[in-house]
Structure 1
Amino acid sequence: MRDQLARGASEPRALAILMGACVVLFIAQWPGLARQAHLQQVDLQPMMMGTLFAMVAVLPLLLYALAALTQLGARIIRRPVGGYGARFALFWALLAASPVFLLAGLVEGFIGPGPSLSLVEFLALTVFAFFWISGLRAARTAMAAS
């Protein structure tokens, strides 16, 4: 994260990382959607299209809003983070944790709901939170240094 921030602010790079992460999260949904379509005996394609829209069109907007709320929250607790730093930390954390989200998708598709899926989803969220908090700290340090 520090190396990325040292390269300077680049909204196209941040957006590319966000869209890459959203595409990977969409791919992570495939096994679970296939399982659900098979068990419910419905067509998979409409489910895939709805998930694609949600992951690639709606999720980025929600993540931009979450990054703005994070920046506001950081100011409230007197740990200010710049807007670009808050956005990039969130987007980078999502991309960095995406392999664990892919694993969760595989567990959902092959094993289904249960304790193993809950454990892997908890692990994915924990890894995401670790990267996000670490990224916010790095962004705050980089903002203070400049």
Structure 2
Amino acid sequence: MATAQIIFESYREPRKVARRFRDAGADEGTGLGWLFAACILFFVALLPSLARTSHLSNGDAPLFGLALGTFFGTLLLAPIFFYVVASMSHLVAKAFGGQGTPTDARLAMFWGLLASTPLVLFQGLVKAMIGAGLQANMVALASFAVFLWVWINSLIELEKAA
């Protein structure tokens, strides 16, 4: 099944998708691939807005500098942050009786990030076309809600006793 189909299926049934990944043998390498794919798409989503910022600044903020700083943040720092948060989510789940592994918690979070990328890409377009404002904030809220929905439901499913 294509990744896009699985992403949209996870909006409806995130626990079923998480269970299918676990049964198929998803491991740390799979999760790392999801994380970097999501981070690359987050970077791509930010590029149109950065171009708008550069254009409106009349060259005071060069696009290359903006893109380089964003690249550094999204592809070098963000994965470290997400690994830490996923590990903390495993500890929280364990405190509530979770029986999964740290890898399960990372898989849940990283799939949630990848599943939210279609809305993040849409948010990037909205922000680039009309600028920051209510519309961009609404799409950002929707993408964050999708991320939380998929992440929390996947975490609950993967932290259950196997």
TM-score between both structures, scaled by the size of structure 2: 0.84
Structure 1 residue 12: Cα displacement: 1.5
Q: 1:21 aligns with which of 31, 38, 44?
A: 38
**Equivalent residue for 1:48?**
67
Count of residues in correspondence between the two structures = 143
CA contact (8 A) 1:9 1:84 kept: no
Amino-acid identity (%): 34
**Equivalent residue for 2:91?**
72
**Equivalent residue for 2:155?**
136
1:1-146 matches, cutoff 5 A: 1-41=18-58, 42-141=61-160, 144-145=161-162
Structure 1, unpaired ranges of 5+ = none
Structure 1 residue 81: Cα displacement: 3.4
Structure 1 residue 8: Cα displacement: 2.1
CA RMSD of aligned residues (A): 1.2
Spell out, residue by residue over 1:81-105, the C-alpha distance to the aligned partner (whole angstroms, 9 max, x if none): 3201100000000001100000110
Q: Distance in 1 between matches of 2:137 and 2:35?
A: 25
Q: Distance in 2 between matches of 1:73 and 1:80?
A: 11
Structure 1 residue 7: Cα displacement: 2.0
TM-score between both structures, scaled by the size of structure 1: 0.93
Q: Distance in 2 between matches of 1:19 and 1:89?
A: 14
Q: Distance in 2 between matches of 1:59 and 1:107?
A: 23
CA contact (8 A) 1:71 1:80 kept: no
Spell out, residue by residue over 1:60-115, the C-alpha distance to the aligned partner (whole angstroms, 9 max, x if none): 01000001110111122333432011000000000011000001100110011111
Structure 2, unpaired ranges of 5+ = 1-17
